[in-house]
Structure 1
Amino acid sequence: MRFHHNLVVATTQALHNIFNDGKYADQAIQKILKKDTRWGSRDRAFIAETTYDIVRYKRLYSAIADVQEPFKPQDLWRLTSVWIILKGHDLPAWEEYYNTPVRRIKGRFDELRKKRVMRESIPNWMDELALNQLEESFWEKELHALNEQANVVLRVNELKTDINTLKEKLVAHDIATDISPEFPNALVLRERANVFSLPEFQDGLFEVQDAGSQKIAPFLQVEPGMRILDACAGAGGKTLHLAALTQNKGQIIATDIYSSKLKELKRRARRAGAHNIETRLIDTTKVIKKLHGKMDRILIDAPCSGLGVLRRNPDAKWKLEPQFLETIQNTQQEILQSYSKVLKSGGKLVYATCSILPSENQDQVKIFLESEIGKEFELEEEKSLFAHLDGFDGFYMARLSKK
C-alpha cells in the first residue's frame, strides 16, 4: 500500500482534535475533510477510516507506542506508525518514522493482546461494568463485534420510493447494495461510499440509518391516523420512519430539549416529504402536561450510555465516565414516569435504548412496572439486538400497553 504524506498529516490533525481538544470524532473528521477539496473519495476514506481505527484502539496503540495524553505531535505520528505496522504495511521512508522500532512494536502487540482490556481497547471500569451484567463469553463476542467497522445502511423512504427502485438508482452510481428480509426498508452498501452527495439523498429518497435502529419504529405498531409522541426525538431519524409508516396521516409530535436538533429535524422532514410532524421544544413541564391522556402511541428513545453503537462512535469509550451511568439511569426512569402519562387507555409505549446493559434496559422496565403509575401498564414484548448476533448495532426495545 502506498501512503501519501498529506493524508497522514490530516489524520494526525484529526487525532489531535479528538484526543487533545475533546472534539467528537465525526465532527473532527468532517472538519478536516473540508480543508482540501482536491481529495478524492479514496483519500477521504483513508483519513476517516484510519482516524476511526486509531480512536477505536487508542488504549492498545498508546501502550504499544509508549505515549500518553495529552499527545505531542510526535506521539500522534507514533500512533500512526503502530497502525501501519499492525496492518501489515511497510513504513514510508519519511522523517517522522525514522528509527521506529518495528520489531518492538510487533512484540508489544503480541504481549498486550493477551489482556481483553488491551486487545479490545476499553477502559477497565467499562469492562468490569459489563462483566457484572453479562456473561463473560457473551461480552467477549459482543465487544469484539463492537470494534468492527460499521456497515453503511440506508433506510428507504417509502413516502417517495420503494426498495427495488432505489436499489436500481444506486446501481447507476456504481453503488451495490444488499437487501435483508429481516430489515424490509434497509439497503446495506457492499462498499462504503459518500451517499450524502447523491441526488437521491438530496431528493429525500433515503436516510442513513443502521438496520438495528430501523427495527424500533415498526415495533411501536403504529397505524395511519394515530396521534404519536416521539418523546426524545433528537434530529428525527425514527420520527421520519414513523411518518413513513403512518403514510403522512395522523399527527406525530416530536419533542426534545435541544432546539438545534428539532431545527435539523424540520429540515430533514421537508426533504423527506414528511408532513405530519410537529416539533415542540421541552422548555417547561407544561409541554408534556398538555398532552396527558391524548396520545395513541409513545416512542421513548431514551438517552443512554450508547454502548450498543460503539462501532459508529468509538470515541464514546474515552468520553464516558462511570458516574454518567448512574445519572443517565435516573434520567431514563424519570422520562418513563413523566411521559407515560400522555398515553390513552389501550395505547402503547415503546421504551428503547442503544445500550446493551440490562441496567439501562430490562431493569428500567421492571422498575417502571413496579411503580405506582407503572401498575397501569403491562409488558407485551421486549427485544434485544446485539452486534455479534445480528450484524448491526446493539439496541433494546420494550413495548408496553396501558390497561
Structure 2
Amino acid sequence: MNPREVALACLLQLSKKDVSISSVVDEAFNRYTLNSRDRRFVNALVYGVIRWKQQLDWVLGQFVNPKFRLDSKHRAILRLGAFQLLHLDGIPPHAAIYETVQLAKKNRKTTGFINAVLRSVQRKASELVYPSLDTHPIDHIAYSMSYPKWLVKRWIQSRGLPWTLAFCEASNQIASLSLRIDINKTYRDEFCEYLKSIGLSPKVSTFVPDGIVIENNAILDKNKGTTLDKDNILKDVITRDDVYVQDESAMLVSYLLMKDAPKLVVDLCAAPGGKTTHIASMIGNTGKVIAVDITKKKLTLLRENCSRLGVKNVDTLTIDATSADLSFIKSADAVLIDAPCSGFGTLRRHPDARWNKTSNQLLVLNDLQYKLLESAARHIKPGGIIVYSTCTVEQSENQGIVSRFLKNFPMFLVENAEDCLPEIPKNAITPEGFLQIFPHEHGIDGAFAARLRRI
C-alpha cells in the first residue's frame, strides 16, 4: 500500500473506533512495509486531517451540495485531498488531487465527483470568508481553527476571547520533542554535545535541569507529529537507558513533589510510568515508589519502562484507587495523583483529544478526580504531601477539584508551587499558589498541579 492508502485506512479505523491516533498509526506501521519518508508522510496526513477536520469539512461544505450524502470512506478521501491542498505546501496541487482521486478509482462516478470538488477547493478556497470574529466568534474559531463549538464556547465564557484565540492557535502547532535525561547517569551538557555529533539540534530546557528539547526543524511539514528525518538515529536515542520522552510540564510535577526529599512515594495513577520513573530516579536506591494503576496491562508497560531505564526501586500494585483499601498510604511521605483528565493541555501532541470528549464526560472525569483525591486524603499521615496534577487547562478539572477538596478537608493547606520550582516563570503560578502551564504562554504542554500538605 502507498502512504495515502495507509493514511486512508488509519482514518477509517479512527472513524469507527474510540482509539488514539498513535495506536492506530503504530499498528499500521507494523502491518505495512513503509520506508522512513513514507512513514513521515502518513503521520503528516493522519495527524493533519484529524487536527484540521472541522476546518476541512467547512471548506468542503462550500463546494458539496448539503443534500449529497457522503459515506465515511469518501468523506475521508475528500478530507485527505483538502488537507494536502490547504496545509501541505511541499506537494504540487495537481499531484495531491490526482493521487487522492486514485483512492476512489473503483467507482468512476465517484472519482469524477471527488476530482471536481478538490479542483474547486484548489481554485476557490483562498477566496472563502469565515464567519466574522466580531459577530460570530464561536463559529469563526470553530471553523477557521478547527475546534468543537461547545469547547470554544466554554473557553470564551470561562477564559475570554483573547485567551481562547491564543490557546487555540498555540494548540494547533506541533510540539517539539522533549527528552528527560537521567542526570544520575549522564551530564546534560555532554548529552547535548552527543546529540549534535549525530546531526540533531538540541537545546537545554529552561524549565527543568534534566530536560532537553529537539526542535521541529527537521520535520517534513508543520502538520505532523514529532517524527524527525533522522528516524533511525532518533530511535537509537530514545531507547537508551538514560532517556525518556516526556514533556517539560510533566517533568515539573515530579519536582513539585520532591521538595522535602520523600523516601516513600505512592503514585496512584502511575502508568505508563513517566512520572514514576522520574521520581524513582530522583529518590535513588535509598527510597521507593509504589506505582498503582487500575489495569494489569498498563502496569506491564510501566514495568517495561522501569526495566529499560534500570529503575529497580519501584513496586507495582493493581487496584482501583477510588474503592480499594489504601491504608498502605499511611506510611508514605508523599502521594502523587496524576489524575485521568480531558488532556486538553496536550492538543499539540494529541489533536484527537478535542473530538473525543463531551461536556458530560468532563462531569464524569470530575467525579473520578475528586474521588482519587478524597481516597488519598483519608490515609495520608500528618505532615504528608499530596500533589494533584493533570495535563488539562480545564478549570473544573483543576482549581475546581482542589477548591472543593479544601472545603471538605480543612486539615490540608496549599503550599506555593513557586517555593518548589524557583526557576518557573511568575505567570505559571496562580494567585492560590498552583502551577498552571499554558502552551501559548510558556511554549510547552498545558498542565496543572497543586501541592497539598496535611497539617
Scaled by the length of structure 2, what TM-score is found?
0.81
- Distance change (3 Å), C-alpha of 1:277 and 1:363: same
Paired residue secondary structure (2:31): coil
Could you tell me how far apart the structure 2 residues matched to 1:196 and 1:321 are? 40
Paired residue secondary structure (2:58): helix
CA deviations on 1:266-298 (whole Å, 9 max, x unpaired) are 111011111111111115878543324221111
Aligned to 2:83: 83
Kindly indicate whether residue 442 of structure 2 is the aligned counterpart of residue 375 of structure 1: no
Task: Measure how far apart 1:318 and its partner are.
Answer: 1.5
Aligned to 1:51: 46
Kindly indicate whether residue 453 of structure 2 is the aligned counterpart of residue 392 of structure 1: no
Within the candidate set 129, 132, 135, 1:111 is matched to 129
Q: Which AA in structure 2 matches 1:334? A: K
Paired residue secondary structure (1:212): helix
Could you tell me how far apart the structure 1 residues matched to 2:350 and 2:70 are? 21
Aligned to 1:158: 183
- Distance change (3 Å), C-alpha of 1:70 and 1:98: closer
Which structure shows the bigger proportion of residues in strand conformation?
A: 1
Kindly indicate whether residue 202 of structure 2 is the aligned counterpart of residue 177 of structure 1: yes
Task: Measure how far apart 1:108 and its partner are.
Answer: 4.8
Aligned to 1:41: 36
Kindly indicate whether residue 270 of structure 2 is the aligned counterpart of residue 218 of structure 1: no
Paired residue secondary structure (2:155): helix
Could you tell me how far apart the structure 1 residues matched to 2:243 and 2:266 are? 23
Contact 1:253–1:277 (CA<8 Å) still a contact in 2? yes
Contact 2:59–2:125 (CA<8 Å) still a contact in 1? yes
Could you tell me how far apart the structure 2 residues matched to 1:286 and 1:101 are? 54
- Distance change (3 Å), C-alpha of 1:70 and 1:223: farther
Q: Which AA in structure 2 matches 1:121? A: S
Task: Measure how far apart 1:401 and its partner are.
Answer: 1.1
Could you tell me how far apart the structure 2 residues matched to 1:206 and 1:19 are? 34
Q: Which AA in structure 1 matches 2:415? A: E
Contact 2:380–2:454 (CA<8 Å) still a contact in 1? yes
Q: Which shows bigger deviation, 203-212 or 5-14?
A: 5-14
Residue correspondences, number: 396
Kindly indicate whether residue 25 of structure 2 is the aligned counterpart of residue 6 of structure 1: no
Q: Which shows bigger deviation, 384-393 or 116-125?
A: 116-125
Residue pairs, 1:336-347, within 5 angstroms: 336-347=373-384
Q: Which shows bigger deviation, 199-208 or 347-356?
A: 199-208
Aligned to 1:244: 281
Task: Measure how far apart 1:222 and its partner are.
Answer: 4.7
Q: Which AA in structure 2 matches 1:84? A: Q
Contact 2:346–2:392 (CA<8 Å) still a contact in 1? yes
- Distance change (3 Å), C-alpha of 1:195 and 1:237: farther
Could you tell me how far apart the structure 2 residues matched to 1:241 and 1:160 are? 13
CA deviations on 1:304-329 (whole Å, 9 max, x unpaired) are 11111111111122211221011111
CA deviations on 1:61-100 (whole Å, 9 max, x unpaired) are 1222237998433322211221121134413144436334
Within the candidate set 320, 323, 341, 1:304 is matched to 341
Aligned to 1:328: 365
Could you tell me how far apart the structure 1 residues matched to 2:390 and 2:233 are? 26
Q: Alignment RMSD, CA only?
A: 2.4
Q: Which shows bigger deviation, 215-224 or 335-344?
A: 215-224
- Distance change (3 Å), C-alpha of 1:284 and 1:375: closer
- Identity across the alignment (%): 26
Point out where structure 1 has 5 or more consecutive residues left out of the alignment. Answer: none
- Distance change (3 Å), C-alpha of 1:196 and 1:250: farther
Could you tell me how far apart the structure 2 residues matched to 1:28 and 1:142 are? 27
Q: Which shows bigger deviation, 43-52 or 95-104?
A: 95-104
Aligned to 2:399: 362
CA deviations on 1:157-178 (whole Å, 9 max, x unpaired) are 2243231232233234322211
Aligned to 1:256: 293
- Distance change (3 Å), C-alpha of 1:70 and 1:332: farther
Paired residue secondary structure (1:229): strand
Task: Measure how far apart 1:254 and its partner are.
Answer: 0.8
- Distance change (3 Å), C-alpha of 1:195 and 1:312: farther
